[in-house]
């Protein structure tokens, strides 16, 4: 009886993996090849006729059927005990090999083993150094990121506890730079009601100052039937009333006159068209003390082009061009007055930016800061068949003008847009533009605008850091 013992050593030559009797003394393994695991990995049985014969099934193989699970003879148990004894003897041989190594062999083995360990440790240390280097770099970035977060947290909007505002959209801008400071749904498109008139006024002033370069106090128009019949808020203009463009702007912005908006769009749109077709005859006579002559010329011209020309649409196109020039990305105008139209939309931020640019025009700022204004009109007297001078007084609808520091800009309300307000406040070096869209009620918009301003004053330092 003999055993084949397969010893799977690491780095062991095949010549040491050979069959040998267990009774023979194992040879010494050279120190450069020696590496011993504690456990035997595999033992194979060979040439065991006694066990094979005793435990053989009729078919010549070990019987492992359910009816014959137990060995067929007791001698097989003794053989299995012998196998276990052989295994113990084999383990003893390995211990013998380890004990019988010479001191020099042990030193060489330990030296080689330690050098391998040192090499492994060096590789591990190098990898650890690289890993620590990456970790250090990541931590450095994290520290920098944390510093940025801490720095940003001092400037962020999240630290600013905004007051409860019922308006669906609102925004506050720095009145000195036009930069946004805070807001709620400030980029949400909504109908803007009479805040549309801010662009109507801006477009009119820009056209006469930069294009025609004429004095609007010396340009008069006649109120059309269409303008006098427009619904909504009104400046109380009657058909055939003669009024200057200068006074029309007050009738537009103070009482929020839709009739004034139509009058301006008609005459300014006509002048824009004349400028496009280069009809210098009327444009040269645009400033006349005998304005009736000018009106007759305009009437004759309108008859010629009446079938295909709408001056109001020309004016609205110019309004949208100005919106593009001012970078109002979410704004579209369909009329000059702001009556209900689902396509006449803008955002709180765009209206704030428009207001900032409009306030750079001194004439605009003067108009919106006026609490009340008396305009001189020439009203046609049907009985006398002649014009008579008359005065009409308009009061600004913006009630915030009653309080110190507040300025215009425009109020607005329709059923679809809700109560709206654009205004600004100036106190020493603090200048804010505030826009509210779709407020809960007409009266609450004044209080909410004041509430936003008070909040801005209380958080002045945070807002300034955020702006930077």
Report whether pLDDT(266) > 70. yes
Residue with tokens 């000195």: 176
pLDDT band at residue 281 under the 50/70/90 scheme: low
- Return the pLDDT at 54: 41
For 133, residues 6+ apart whose C-beta sits below 8 A from its C-beta are none
Give the pair of three-digit tokens for residue 73: 């003879």
Task: Kindly state the average pLDDT of the residues 220-247.
Answer: 92
Residues 309 and 422 in one domain: yes
Q: Mean pLDDT, the chain, as a whole number?
A: 75
Q: Which of 77, 101, 125 is the last residue of a domain?
A: 101
Of 237, 202, 123, 213, which is closest to residue 362 (Cα–Cα)? 202
**Contact, 359 vs 409, CB < 8 A?**
yes
Query: 272 versus 317: which is more confidently predicted?
Result: 317
CATH number of the domain to which 239 belongs: 3.40.710.10
- Considering the domain architecture, whether residues 115 and 33 belong to the same structural domain is answered as no
Are 419 and 353 part of one and the same domain?
yes
The pLDDT value recorded for residue 162 is 81
- Inside any domain, residue 369: yes
Nearest CA-CA partner of 336 in 190, 186, 188, 202:
202
pLDDT higher than threshold 80 for residue 464: no
Token couple for 285: 């006579």
147 and 42 within one domain: no
Give the burial class of 36: count Cβ atoms within 10 A of its Cβ; 0-12 exposed, 13-18 middle, 19 or more buried. Answer: middle
Instruction: Give a yes or no: residue 319 inside a domain.
Output: yes
Residue 342's pLDDT band, with cuts at 50, 70 and 90, is very high
Q: Give residue-wise pLDDT tens across range 99-120.
A: 555 566 655 655 665 555 555 5
| CB-CB contact of 289 with 404 (8 Å) | no
Helix ranges (DSSP H) in 346-392? 348-358, 362-368
pLDDT of 245 over the 80 cut:
yes
φ, ψ dihedrals at 408, nearest 5°: -30, -155
Residue 164 lies in a domain: no
Find the mean pLDDT for residues 130-159: 50
Question: By mean pLDDT, which of 74-78, 111-115, 169-173 is the weakest?
Answer: 74-78
Which residues constitute the domain of residue 74?
2-101
Residue 455 inside a domain? The answer is yes
Q: How would you class 179 by CB atoms within 10 Å of its CB: exposed for 0-12, middle for 13-18, buried for 19 or more?
A: middle
| Model confidence pTM above 0.95 | no
Same domain, 71 and 176: no
75, 195: one domain: no
pLDDT score of 275? 82
User: Does residue 30 sit in the same domain as residue 121?
Assistant: no
The total domain count for the chain is: 3
* 106 within some domain: no
Identify whether residues 237 and 191 lie together within a single domain. yes
Residue 352 sits in the same domain as residue 227: yes
pLDDT tens-place string over residues 53-62:
444 444 444 4
Residues 133 and 201 in one domain: no
76 & 120 share domain: no
pLDDT confidence band for 388 (50 / 70 / 90): confident
Q: Is residue 163 part of a domain?
A: no
pLDDT confidence of residue 200: 98
Task: Determine, yes or no, domain membership for 162.
Answer: no
Q: Are residues 147 and 183 in the same domain?
A: no
pLDDT band at residue 196 using 50, 70 and 90 as cut-offs: very high
């Amino acid at each position: 009886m003999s055993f084949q013992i397969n010893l799977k050593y690491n780095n062991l030559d095949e010549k040491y993996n050979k069959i040998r009797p267990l009774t023979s003394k194992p040879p010494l393994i050279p120190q450069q090849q020696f590496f011993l695991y504690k456990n035997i990995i595999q033992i194979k049985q060979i040439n065991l006729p006694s066990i094979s014969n005793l435990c053989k099934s009729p078919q010549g193989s070990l019987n492992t059927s359910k009816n014959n699970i137990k060995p067929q003879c007791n001698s097989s148990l003794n053989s299995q005990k012998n196998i276990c004894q052989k295994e113990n003897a084999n383990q003893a041989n390995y211990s013998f090999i380890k004990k019988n190594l010479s001191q020099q062999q042990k030193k060489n083995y330990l030296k080689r083993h330690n050098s391998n360990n040192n090499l492994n440790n060096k590789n591990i240390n190098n990898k650890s150094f690289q890993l620590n280097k990456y970790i250090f770099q990541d931590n450095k970035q994290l520290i920098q990121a944390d510093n940025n977060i801490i720095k940003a947290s001092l400037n962020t909007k999240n630290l600013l506890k905004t007051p409860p505002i019922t308006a669906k959209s609102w925004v506050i801008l720095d009145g000195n730079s036009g930069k946004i400071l805070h807001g709620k749904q400030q980029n949400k498109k909504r109908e803007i009601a009479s805040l549309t008139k801010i662009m109507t006024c801006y477009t009119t002033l820009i056209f006469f100052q930069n294009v025609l370069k004429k004095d609007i106090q010396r340009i008069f128009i006649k109120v059309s039937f269409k303008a006098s019949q427009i619904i909504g808020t009104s400046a109380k203009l009657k058909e055939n009333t003669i009024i200057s463009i200068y006074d029309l702007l007050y009738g537009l912005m103070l009482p929020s006159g839709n009739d004034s908006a139509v009058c301006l769009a008609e005459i300014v749109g006509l002048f824009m068209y004349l400028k496009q077709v280069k009809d210098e005859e009327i444009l040269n006579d645009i400033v006349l003390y005998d304005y009736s002559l000018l009106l007759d010329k305009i009437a004759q011209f309108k008859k010629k082009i009446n079938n295909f020309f709408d001056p109001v649409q020309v004016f609205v196109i110019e309004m949208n061009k100005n919106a593009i020039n001012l970078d109002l990305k979410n704004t579209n105008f369909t009329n000059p007055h702001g009556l209900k139209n689902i396509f006449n939309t803008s955002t709180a931020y765009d209206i704030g930016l428009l207001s900032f640019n409009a306030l750079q025009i001194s004439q605009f700022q003067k108009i919106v800061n006026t609490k009340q204004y008396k305009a001189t009109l020439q009203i046609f007297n049907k009985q006398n068949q002649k014009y008579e001078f008359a005065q009409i007084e308009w009061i600004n609808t913006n009630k915030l003008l009653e309080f110190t520091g507040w300025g215009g800009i425009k109020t607005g309300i329709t059923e679809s847009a809700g109560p709206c307000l654009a205004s600004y406040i100036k106190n020493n070096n603090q200048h804010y533009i505030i826009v509210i869209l779709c407020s809960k009620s007409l009266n609450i918009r004044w209080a909410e605008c004041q509430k936003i301003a008070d909040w801005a004053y209380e958080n002045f330092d945070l807002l300034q850091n955020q702006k930077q």
